[in-house]
Amino acid sequence: MTALDPTARIPASPAPPRRRKAAAYLALTKPRIIELLLVTTVPVMFLAQGGVPSLLLIVATLVGGALSAGAANTFNCVYDRDIDAEMHRTSNRPMVTGEVTPREGLVFGAVLTVASTVWFAVFVNWLSAALSLGAILMYAVGYTMVLKRRTAQNIVWGGAAGCMPVLIGWSAVADSLSWSAVMLFLVIFFWTPPHYWPLSMKFKDDYAAAHVPMLPVVEKFVVVARQIVAYSWAMVAASLLLVWVHPMGWLYLVTAVVTGALFLAEAHRLLRAAKAGEGPQVLRPMRLFHFSITYVGILFLGVALDPLFHLPVG
């Protein structure tokens, strides 16, 4: 086969430098995490409105939320670049590979912070802007810089930043907060450990190599599983208490009961396996991790649909 052979395979051209750079900046924002955060925002807007909010308001809130989450995640990547370099699953992040320098990352994060705050203030309201800025500070400073490397409960308190989209979604519509919004905040707050600790169990060795004291690194799996069960029960209780705090209908109640029961069953399965002394391969902690994403999606779908097809309880 010669160089003139028409059947010869032509090597794929590398992506243009500007496109590679843009892709690297996008990777710093962790788009998949942003998607999960925004899944909780829109349903809460439906609940606060008692129906369908303005489409322009939904779009404005989602854009602001994406910019805000992108800023927090970018600062996280900059500060944690030494940890990411030690962990197999994060070793390809742009800050580790050098595609983006720390200075560039800090500037990018600052630009996103200013852009998200101004965007919320101009197109949504000042309360949402303040909550957005607070979420960035909670995640970038409170979790990333203060808690992550110092305590095994890092994800519990640091995870509160991931609950802020719930409050932002409510405030975007109501320009205020309520106990209903607080209750949904608590659902996500209690959901975060059972969501993240199974992932930490799977990648325990990675965290240990990076000297990050995630709970599965410093405690036996059975201790982690017990805490997962405890937080799971608190999460389901909070989801059911919403029916008492807010006039939710049967659609939401049935959704919360069924998905909550399935979540608890999976959490207890993990605990039984941990008590039996089974290793990570048999424990299959990622089953709960993946189901936790399904759970929050279905539960908040129920939050969104309930005011549209309201069937009063009692």
Q: Give the tens place of pLDDT for each residue, 174-196.
A: 999 999 999 999 999 999 999 99
More confidently predicted of 117 and 282: 117
Lowest mean pLDDT among 35-39, 121-125, 260-264, 302-306: 35-39
Per-residue pLDDT tens digits for 243-269: 999 999 999 999 999 999 999 999 999
Locate all alpha helices (DSSP H) within the chain, ordered by sequence.
Answer: 17-28, 31-39, 41-49, 55-79, 81-86, 94-97, 102-123, 126-137, 154-158, 164-174, 179-202, 204-209, 215-218, 221-245, 250-275, 280-283, 286-305
Tokens 């029916």 correspond to 243
HEC per residue, 64-89: HHHHHHHHHHHHHHHHCHHHHHHCHH
Structural domain including 216 reads: 178-314
In angstroms, the CA 133 to CA 158 distance is 15
pLDDT of 8 over the 50 cut: no
**Does a structural domain hold residue 234?**
yes
**Does a structural domain hold residue 128?**
yes
Using a 10 angstrom Cβ sphere, with 0-12 exposed, 13-18 middle and 19 or more buried, the burial of residue 268 is middle
pLDDT of 55 over the 50 cut: yes
For residue 278, what are its two tokens? 């089974």
**pTM metric for this prediction:** 0.90
**Does a structural domain hold residue 223?**
yes
CB 197 within 8 A of CB 228: yes
Per-residue pLDDT tens digits for 265-277: 999 999 999 998 7
**Does a structural domain hold residue 229?**
yes
CATH of residue 286's domain is: 1.20.120
Tell me what pLDDT residue 268 has.
97
Q: Are residues 59 and 156 in the same domain?
A: yes
Q: Are residues 44 and 133 in the same domain?
A: yes
Tell me what pLDDT residue 312 has.
83
Tell me what pLDDT residue 280 has.
61
- Residue 145 CA from chain centroid, whole number: 18
Q: Are residues 223 and 258 in the same domain?
A: yes
Give the end of a domain, one of 110, 145, 176.
176
Q: Are residues 160 and 227 in the same domain?
A: no
Q: Are residues 109 and 151 in the same domain?
A: yes
Which positions ≥6 away from 92 have C-beta within 8 Å?
none
Give the end of a domain, one of 148, 176, 204.
176
- 51 half-sphere exposure, CB direction, 13 A CA radius: 1
Percent of the chain with pLDDT over 90: 79
CB 309 within 8 A of CB 47: no
For residue 60, what are its two tokens? 């404005």
116-155 residues labelled b (16+ CB within 10 A) or e (exposed) = bbebbbebbbebbbebbbbbbebbbebbbeebbeebbebb
Q: Are residues 171 and 37 in the same domain?
A: yes
Give the end of a domain, one of 122, 157, 176.
176
CB 108 within 8 A of CB 43: no
Q: How confident is the model at residue 279 (pLDDT cuts 50, 70, 90)?
A: low
Q: How confident is the model at residue 110 (pLDDT cuts 50, 70, 90)?
A: very high
Tell me what pLDDT residue 265 has.
98
Tell me what pLDDT residue 144 has.
93
